[in-house]
Structure 1
């Protein structure tokens, strides 16, 4: 278990600090040079095909997730992309992104799916998104093509404002998850839902304690341990969720425990500690 009394200069088992630079800002995670050999062809194919899909409307493209962090697992990890557009994405843009992802997924067995986020450049740089999508681009995304918006965004500290604006909307997700639970009638559908909800809860639990832990990590296990140091009474639930975030099962009881117990408790504690995320347009 991580000792919360250790100073911020604490080093983890890999010799890295807690994801912060010497000034206490969150370091950008990931880099193209960290992409491991099996995933190099996938990244290169995405780089070549994106301009053909979005043309001059695309102002920049990024990788995020395990592939640019160098932790992807062959046949298990997906390719995560974020594309910045000159205008708000249309339904045609989303269809084109899905077609691109489907093609890459079929062609490269080393990945298990492709997810592509589409946002306008203006939204990514907006005041409303500075401490959510802006932070995501500046700290968790690796530039692949075009303009890097990180140059236009601030440096970020692991403080309460960042916690509130990234994950302070958990209460809004709970009814959506209940609806999806009712619609998930196969083991595969339930596994997909367990994976996504588990990851969301672990990341929310981590950002709840992030200002006190004073650092950043994207590893689900490390997130769960950081949380456990401050909420030992919920530690085993969060550790179990971290495991399911990597190796999901399809047990409906797990989903029920998320939406009936861990999720509501976490949403309430988050609101008490950090407040509620600023509302977004529907």
Structure 2
């Protein structure tokens, strides 16, 4: 029987835990906690890990470290500069990770009604508390329904023009690999949330996400499996990016809008 990431009542079980952090990553997680507290001081409400490290699936030298920081105020230029310095220092000092991603939001944004089924869900279900009071205590429980599908990934069509510009401007192998990795991840996760309400569960595993998607869209299954493979082992191939922005991406955006609608517009997106 498949484990679909839900409890006995059909609500999301929180993904990840500090106890699942692989031993190889314990040092960088400890450093992230200490350095984040020192860098932000009273500006910080709370900090969270997300991604493969707290899920226990990170690969030494291949996986990045992902942090979500909730500030007591909306992020300013100084806060973003601090995040860049923090990320660069962790990446340079710990070869076990391949990059650091830091998301910055004000606590009011994370708890807002507008973000209830996007950032709020992300914090409450996919993020592991690292520092400070857990904002998830102020958020509802979530089910894998159409509303969640719409508000998490129902904005792919709006993103595609920017993707095309970035793909066209990429010239170095490093840039191409970074874009193929990022676009692949996003497409696989969007493909999964497209079918999530029908499947009735949750997974963050990209390979499993592609397989679940393929059950409902067999004609696109091979493309999605290939995207999941590229997400794990990115390639410096412009043709892969072109296929994403000219074929798989537009098809997926149209199908998503037809089934779930488009994401509610935000007045002024925040974060980094």
TM-score by length of 1: 0.94
Match of 2:97 in 1: 111
Residues paired across the two proteins, number: 268
SS for the counterpart of 1:28 is coil
1:178 positional shift: 0.7
Alpha-carbon shift at residue 92 of structure 1 (Å): 1.2
Within 1, Cα distance between the matches of 2:233 and 2:175? 14
Instruction: Give the Cα separation in 2 of the matches to 1:99 and 1:86.
Output: 20
Residue 150 of structure 2 corresponds to residue 164 of structure 1: yes
Residue aligning to 1:231: 217
**Residues 89-136 of structure 1, C-alpha deviations (whole Å, 9 max, x = no match):** 011111111101111111111001111100000000000000000000
Q: Residues of 2 paired with 1:259 and 1:181: CA distance?
A: 8
For residues 224 and 203 of structure 2, the distance between their equivalents in structure 1, rounded to whole angstroms, comes to 15
For structure 1, the 5+ residue unaligned runs are 1-9, 12-16
C-alpha deviations, 1:52-72, integer Å up to 9, x for none?
111111000000000000000
Instruction: Please list every run of 5 or more consecutive structure 2 residues that lacks an aligned counterpart in the other structure.
Output: none
Coordinate RMSD, CA, aligned:
0.6
Return the offset for 1:183.
1.6
Identify the match of residue 80 of structure 1 among 46, 66, 77.
Answer: 66
Secondary structure (helix, strand or coil) at the match of 2:236 reads: coil
**Cα deviation digits, residues 6-36 of structure 1 (max 9, x gap):** xxxx32xxxxx20000000011000000001
The answer for the alignment partner of 1:263 in structure 2 is 249
Superposed counterparts of 1:193-204, under 5 Å: 193-204=179-190
Find the counterpart in structure 2 of residue 220 from structure 1. Answer: 206
Counterpart mapping for 1:1-282 below 5 A: 10-11=1-2, 17-282=3-268
Aligned mates of 2:20, 2:173 — CA distance in 1: 34
Secondary structure at the aligned position of 1:192 is classed as helix
Cα distance in 2, alignment partners of residues 117 and 200 from structure 1: 16
